[in-house]
Every structure is written in structure tokens, then in C-alpha cells.
Structure 1
Amino acid sequence: MMKEPQGRSELVGALLAAEFADAGIDIEAMRRVYLGAHDEWAQALETTGVFGLRALAEITKSWAADPRLLRDALLADADELTRRRCHAAWTSFETRPIAAVGG
């Protein structure tokens, strides 16, 4: 499993939590993360201007290798109920096949 540096993962979590706080993180978002559809979150990080192209490439590569890194970043500031719902959904994705994004 590829691991992000600790400081970077915390920064990614803070930036993504701030970006998506109003929209909320739901089961469909978790499904997209699980299936590897990470473009919306990569673009959100890119628009912050905090990371250079190399760092963005490393971050998205780590997400591709282990989507749980993105999941955890999105849930960094989530309330306990949201976190539990999303983890339960994730577990269900692992135990039964799910349709591909858009399918």
C-alpha cells in the first residue's frame, strides 16, 4: 500500500473537508471513491493551488493504489454518524459486487 506523508495527508483531508463540507459526503460519493473515480477530488485539490503537479500526481497515485486514503481524507471532519454510514457502505462494497461508475 502506498502511503502519503503524514503532514500531506492531514492537509489533503483539511482541504477536501472544507471543499465538500456543504455538499456533504454520501454513499454515492463513497461508491465513486471505491471504484476509482477520483477526478472531482483531484480537481478540487488542484484548484486550491497548494500542491504542485508532482505532488498532485503522487497524491492521485496513492489514491489509485489505496482508495481508502481518499475516503479517510473526505471523512476527516465528518460527524460520527456520517463516518459510520460511509464505513458501513464501504464494507458493503467489499462484500458484494457493485456496478461501475455510470453503470
Structure 2
Amino acid sequence: MNVVQLTTGDFVAAMFSLDFVDGGFRREAVERIHRGAIDEWVSALTGSGLFSNRAVTDVVRAWRDDPRVLLDSLLAEADPVTFERYRSAWYELDAATAYGAAA
């Protein structure tokens, strides 16, 4: 028997991914996530009642440490074209941030 260990990130992806992807490409969402404005996702996660306080704390810490973790979870169900659009937008934001920091 194969046992699959699911992580909280897997459950987060299952909760949010389809709705996020079905909403079409949303540049403003990528921009918010990139700058760490993740309160809407934290509220949804907390309000779901599906996770312990410890699990929520761990996931939120991971998102704050690296917001790309949240984006990757949201794109878990994305088709390749959608995934590439979001990834390209993320890299553009990385470049703009790096350029702004260097100036």
C-alpha cells in the first residue's frame, strides 16, 4: 500500500488553487503576494477551521518568509500557459525590486 503524506501546503492548494486559476490572470494579486500583502489568504485559511493554530502559524510563517510559496500553492492546478504568465509576472516584479534596491 502506498501512503501519501499530505502537507498543509497541499490542503491550501486544494482550497484555493481552482478559484484562483478560474478567476483569470490577475496581475494585482501577484503584486500583492510579491510584496507580502497576504492578509486575505491568511484570513481565508484561518476562517476555514480546517487547520490547527499551529498549522496556520507554520503556513503563514512560510508565506511571510517566501511569498512565492503562496503563489506556487495557488498555481497548483494551473495549466502551463497560466503558470508561465504568473511566473513571468513574478520575475518581472523581482527584477523591478532588484533594480529599485540598486538605485
In the TM superposition, residue 21 of structure 1 has moved relative to its aligned partner by 4.6
Cα distance, 1:20–1:44 mapped onto 2, change above 3 Å: farther
Q: Distance in 1 between matches of 2:12 and 2:58?
A: 12
Cα distance, 1:80–1:63 mapped onto 2, change above 3 Å: same
Q: TM-score, normalised by structure 2?
A: 0.79
Partner of 1:36: 36
Q: TM-score, normalised by structure 1?
A: 0.79
Which runs of structure 2 are paired with 1:12-31 in the superposition (5 Å)? 12-31=12-31
- Structure 2 unmatched runs, 5+: 99-103
Q: Distance in 2 between matches of 1:19 and 1:55?
A: 22
Secondary structure of residue in 1 paired with 2:97: coil
Partner of 1:10: 10
In the TM superposition, residue 6 of structure 1 has moved relative to its aligned partner by 5.7
Cα distance, 1:27–1:86 mapped onto 2, change above 3 Å: same
Partner of 2:101: none
1:91 and 2:91 are equivalent in the alignment: yes
In the TM superposition, residue 25 of structure 1 has moved relative to its aligned partner by 4.8
Secondary structure of residue in 2 paired with 1:86: helix
Identity %: 36
1:64 and 2:90 are equivalent in the alignment: no
| AA at the equivalent of 2:65 | A
In the TM superposition, residue 70 of structure 1 has moved relative to its aligned partner by 0.2
- Pairwise CA RMSD: 2.1
Secondary structure of residue in 1 paired with 2:7: helix
Q: Distance in 1 between matches of 2:29 and 2:19?
A: 14
Larger radius of gyration: 2
Q: Distance in 2 between matches of 1:83 and 1:52?
A: 30
Tell me whether 15-24 or 30-39 shows the greater mean CA deviation.
Answer: 15-24
Between the two proteins, the alignment pairs up a number of residues equal to 94
